Structure 1
Amino acid sequence: MPELRKSPLHSRHEALGAKFAEFGGWSMPLQYTSVVAEHKAVRSAVGIFDVSHLGGIRVVGPNARGFLNTCFTNDLEKIGPGQAQYTLACTRMGGVIDDIIVYLVRDDHLFCVPNAANNADILQLLKSSAPAAIEVTNEHTVYAKVAVQGPQSDEVLAALGAPVDHDYMKFRSGTIAGVDVTVCRTGYTGERGYELMIPAEDAGPVWDALMDAGAAEGITPCGLGARDTLRTEMGYPLHGHELSLDIDPIEGQCSWAVGWNKPEFWGSEALKERKAQGVEQRIRALKSAGRGIPRPGMKVLNDAGEEIGFVTSGTFSPTLNVGIALAMVDVDVLPGSAVKVDIRGRQEPFSVEKPPLVEPQVRQK
């Protein structure tokens, strides 16, 4: 088994007493104190996450934007330089290879951030599809990536002179601790926040500066355990759970990230046919009406005890103080319905909800 990759910030996490786990071939912090405490810090103040395991692919060349627009689902013509876009890479049959954030620097210069485990696959697909004039470069380990998330995130970055006056899904250049960084108004928590791309060799001083500047705001180092509970409350998909080779964008409730009017993208023919025909199941949010904590793979049942779906992500919500889930269920199971989840032989009651389950602050001015 290959040795796990380590973040450029690994020694900082060790010094903070982090517990580590494997994520996409990387050893990353799962938690420092507790998932619940770290989760609540993000909702109430500010948390800092190391997400350096996320991928990085640079695409440069004449009309690189046009090339990527024939690959990924969303319509890159809808954004301009300095903006980012959530999109999907699909198979010819419409399954999801990965979900990706694409940063548009210029028409001839874009940066893609896939998930860690899928970076190599997306890189190979782009390289094999790109015209000769377009260069596709693997930059998975070139940058450290740090997320500063929560209602006090502006105060932390502003104290360091970093830009915080740009809108959601936009990015700007800045300097922290003498290091040039890219400050992206993006995140995976539902809170207002930023994701920073930092040259890997300079990651330590930037992390230290953020921790020092955030001390007055109660900044809390957060692991990927809290990142998961935060995103589940928002109903944000996780590849391999709500999106996969077997769960397409329509079933995964990501139709909004498909440019249906585009003439071409990977999987376009299959997805347009599926949209016309309709799907049998879709992802919905569930909230416990009792004490049950759902976990992935558990069966979702109707009142008659018949199986109508399965849990794709399940956890305890520190904000709502109940069990919550995302689940693939029959299309006629609508928000407001009552269902049950088979939790170790007990049929626990749940309500079907429309996500997000917690009011998001991510788009706040």
Structure 2
Amino acid sequence: MKLSPLHHKHLSMGVNWAEEGGWLIPEHFGNLDSEKHHLQSGCGIVDCSHQRKWEVVGRESRPTLERLLQGVALPLPGRISMPTNQVFVAGLTSDSFLFLAEQDGPSHFAEVFSGRNLAVSCAHVTEMTSVLAGFALVGKQSRAILQKMTSLNLTDEAYPPWKCSSGSVAGVQAVLLRLASPWEYALYVVRDYAEYLYDCLLEAGHGLGLRPVGVKAYWEMKGET
């Protein structure tokens, strides 16, 4: 069973576990209804490190992906697309993409990214699932919390929904996504810095209603929007 880099921290918080795709994931922290309400009225941080992640880079990455993933709209640099209900694609640069999927989501992407389909092109895929930790920050104070930790301009004009970028968050290089909900962000950082960034987010959110929330409340919230 694979573990999040925050596994021991979650244990100290009284987590209730669930299993998905061979991972132990934090389902909730004691009261699911309270967590669902908190995502609507407060601000929650959700450990999404279990998500499947692939990085595709190279000067032929876009045409190669367009050939292999027929009908999938690839995003422009700095933007995000959502080809299926459980898959996001972040256009990091003109020739660099980060694919994100739930463990129990569509397997087509896993088949494409097996390596054999990309071996003959100048496009290189790296499985990043265990390399990158991921967090969702959800709630009306999410932007205020993040803005305390980064020099990136997170105003609506500069950072609208479906925008992504790489930058420093609490002194750590991270990939930041703003998703469909006006108050929903996702961050991805190298696993070694996961606990540090998690603690920094909780500290920045002290007094702004930030608390850990499990994946079940988060998934149910997304299913209702």
TM-score normalised by structure 2 residue count: 0.89
Structure 1 residue ranges without an equivalent (≥5)? 89-97, 235-365
Distance of 1:18 and 1:162 partners within structure 2: 33
Distance of 2:224 and 2:106 partners within structure 1: 26
- Equivalent residue number for residue 183 of structure 1: 176
- Equivalent residue number for residue 199 of structure 2: 208
RCO comparison, higher one (Cα < 8 Å, 6+): 2
Distance of 1:64 and 1:87 partners within structure 2: 17
With over 3 angstroms needed to count, the CA separation of the structure-2 counterparts of 1:233 and 1:182, relative to structure 1, is same
- Equivalent residue number for residue 84 of structure 1: 80
Structure 1 position 10 matched with structure 2 position 7: yes
CA shift digits 1:130-152 (9 cap, x unpaired) = 23322121111110000001111
Structure 1 position 232 matched with structure 2 position 220: no
Distance of 1:38 and 1:7 partners within structure 2: 20
Deviation at 1:173, TM superposition (A): 2.4
CA shift digits 1:285-322 (9 cap, x unpaired) = xxxxxxxxxxxxxxxxxxxxxxxxxxxxxxxxxxxxxx
Asked whether the 8 Å contact 2:68–2:112 carries over to 1, the reply is no
Q: Tell me which of 28, 43, 48 is aligned to 1:46.
A: 43
- Equivalent residue number for residue 25 of structure 2: 28
Distance of 2:24 and 2:39 partners within structure 1: 22
Q: Tell me which of 55, 61, 65 is aligned to 1:64.
A: 61
Among the aligned pairs, what percent are the same residue? 26
Deviation at 1:118, TM superposition (A): 5.4
CA shift digits 1:45-101 (9 cap, x unpaired) = 21100000001111122231122123333322xx4211111014xxxxxxxxx8421
Distance of 2:2 and 2:61 partners within structure 1: 30
Distance of 1:86 and 1:119 partners within structure 2: 13
- Equivalent residue number for residue 73 of structure 2: 75
Structure 2 residue ranges without an equivalent (≥5)? none
CA shift digits 1:191-229 (9 cap, x unpaired) = 512100011010001000101111111112110120122
Distance of 1:99 and 1:35 partners within structure 2: 22
Q: Tell me which of 159, 166, 173 is aligned to 2:166.
A: 173
Distance of 1:228 and 1:106 partners within structure 2: 29
Distance of 2:151 and 2:17 partners within structure 1: 30
Q: Please say which of residues 158-167 and 20-29 is displaced more in the overlay.
A: 158-167
Deviation at 1:123, TM superposition (A): 3.5
TM-score normalised by structure 1 residue count: 0.56
Asked whether the 8 Å contact 1:123–1:138 carries over to 2, the reply is no
Paired residue secondary structure (2:64)? helix
Q: Could you say which structure has the larger radius of gyration?
A: 1
Aligned length: 218
Paired residue secondary structure (1:128)? coil
